[in-house]
Amino acid sequence: MHDKRVLVTGGAGFIGSNLANDLAADNDVIAVDNEFLGTPDNLDLGVEYIKRDVLDDDLPTDADVVYHLAALSSRQMLEENPRQGARVNVEGFVNVVEQAIEDGCDTFIYASTSSAYGSRAEPTPENVPLEASTGYDASMLGRERYAEYYNDFYDEVTLAGMRFFSVYQGYGGSEEHKGQYANTVSQFTDKIASGESPVLWGDGTQTRDFTHVFDIVRGLKQAGEAELAGVYNLGTGDPYSFNEMVKLINETLGTDVDPEYEPIPLENYVHDTCADISKINDAVGWEPEINFEDGIRRVCEPYIKK
């Protein structure tokens, strides 16, 4: 993508800032964020930053491509504040799409979630039945339904939803400000590096399809260039258990910190995730470039340098 005007909502957040910084090398990029979870410190100087909320009128949606990543992005946040979650994740989505259409934007890429698949150890394609077992899932599936409506009945714009699988980068990137909402890879590495035991739920055999943010950014860019419509998985198809993750972190850091185990405190806890990425691969040729061992090395690097 070159010489385009691009808007990234949630652009000061973890994934948003990585995307905005990458795109700013060749494009005119505007990042919008309300700083609830994001911080402008994540952004390079080449990105124009505007503090705004996705529920506001008069957003800078006069862009060639809108990447809508703003969301209350965890189960916990939606449980603590269900009405606000629905407003931000669903109404905010519709608000940004409507303004984008009015401003003549024809390509809209948005964040959805893989957690609506529930617990699945096999590679999961996009067309399996989904369940809204949390308010967060419900709000993201609401986005997908609205996107379906816009794709079916509006010729002016195409919308593509990206179902992310366990995105991580580590505190050496722009994930640190998320604190308790950061990916477990990043949280566990930070703990182990300082000699603290990470707390694993259950027996640590649960698996996640950990996907490095570098690959997520590549997928988002390719989706924008191809003007995709529909929903697509962005994952690796190669899940690791929490026990395996802790072992890899210890090996990489040269530490020997045992985890603690606690009973799983949630009902309908997702035990396993695994992406089938053949749809996005068929559409734009995307596949992940960073395997988990390499990803762990990147997460651990800042601690080793210290």
Helices 135-153 and 92-102, interaxial angle, to 10°? 20
DSSP annotation of 123: -
User: How would you classify the pairing of strands 260-262 and 199-201?
Assistant: parallel
| Catalytic site residue from 67, 110, 136, 240 | 136
What does the block give as tokens for 263?
Answer: 């009973």
Locate 214 and state its tokens: 């570098």
Task: In whole angstroms, give the CA distance from residue 18 to residue 298.
Answer: 15
Taking each helix axis from N to C end, the angle separating 184-193 and 292-305, rounded to the nearest 10 degrees, works out to 40
| 303 counts as catalytic | no
Distance CA 270, CA 273 (A): 8
219: which 2 tokens? 């997928």
Residues noted as catalytic: 136
